[in-house]
Chain A
Amino acid sequence: GAVVSQHPSRVICKSGTSVKIECRSLDFQATTMFWYRQFPKQSLMLMATSNEGSKATYEQGVEKDKFLINHASLTLSTLTVTSAHPEDSSFYICSASKGRAYEQYFGPGTRLTVT
């Protein structure tokens, strides 16, 4: 149990375009989902926390208009990188949790390359 999927696993897009990444909890209902960014050989940096049905809470320094997060259901959250630029190229990882007292389960990540 506690499987989290991400789609796509890797995506290449041109500078200026937008790309959407999906995060799904496959076998449980996730009241909270988290989005992280990881640069090569570096740690995971939390970008935002989203609770189902409410607006996401963004970490300091993360542009909410650039990284749009939607958590429309208890099993799906999406991250849209708008007007992507090469510096947005990174590994994006989501995690999902049933709630405060529960584990975060991580997805397999999405490799975004902006050319």
Chain B
Amino acid sequence: QQQVKQSPQSLIVQKGGISIINCAYENTAFDYFPWYQQFPGKGPALLIAIRPDVSEKKEGRFTISFNKSAKQFSLHIMDSQPGDSATYFCAARGGANNLFFGTGTRLTVIP
């Protein structure tokens, strides 16, 4: 059972555009929601994270929007660049400090 659902599976955005990736969860016990960026053959790297008592967090070009009542959160990448092309995973943290990952979104930013 997929605890965190992620969409879309793949995304193509023009350089300078906005990339939006969405995630949804069911378990209200999740208490922390990070986003990871992964390049081929590398481990995931933390991009930005949010706690459920906050509705939005912005760091540079990256913004997380969090809707606690809907149990949804999303990543927005503003002014998308070719170097942003990677696979993005949302995740949610459970009680044992374990992370449940979404299925991933392959982002391609075309020049």
Residues of A within 8 A of B (CB): 4, 6, 32, 34, 41-46, 49, 57, 91, 93, 95, 97, 99-100, 103-109, 111
Contact = CB atoms under 8 A, between A and B. Distances in A.
Contact of A43 (B34, B41, B98, B102): B102
Contact of A44 (B41, B44, B46, B49): B44
Q: How large is the interface on B (under 10, 10 to 19, 20 to 34, 35 or more residues)?
A: 20 to 34
Contact of A109 (B43, B103, B106): B43
Given A44-B44, A46-B99, 17 more contacts: A32-B97, A34-B98, A34-B99, A41-B104, A42-B103, A42-B104, A43-B102, A49-B96, A49-B97, A91-B41, A93-B43, A95-B99, A103-B34, A105-B46, A106-B45, A108-B42, A108-B43
Contacts, number: 52
B2 to A, nearest CB: 9
B44 A106 contact: yes
Chain A binding surface SS class: strand
Given A32-B97, A97-B97, A100-B97, A43 B43 contact: no
A43 B101 contact: yes
B43 A106 contact: yes
B43 A107 contact: yes
Interface in B19-44: 34, 36, 41-44
